[in-house]
Amino acid sequence: MFTKEELLVIKDAFKIADKEYMKQMEANMNNKSSLVAYNRKQKKLWMAQNKLNKILDEKLYEE
């Protein structure tokens, strides 16, 4: 599996991606189809972030 440090790097990458999606959504406020597409991508990212947080919590309990 992954080490705790590797999981933290992935968590930071998710934060960067989240900021990028937010920036793209703000830039495409007038284009509804693009806005919806970025919103869907962001929701998938949030699900992955939630799963990563659960894995990190489990990792902390193991140590």
Domain boundaries along the sequence of the chain: 4-62
Is residue 63's pLDDT more than 80?
no
CA dist 42 and 37 (Å) reads: 9
- pLDDT value at position 45? 95
The distance of Cα 17 from the centroid of its chain, to the nearest Å, equals: 6
Interval 2-58: pLDDT, tens: 888 999 999 999 999 999 999 999 998 999 999 899 999 999 999 999 999 999 998
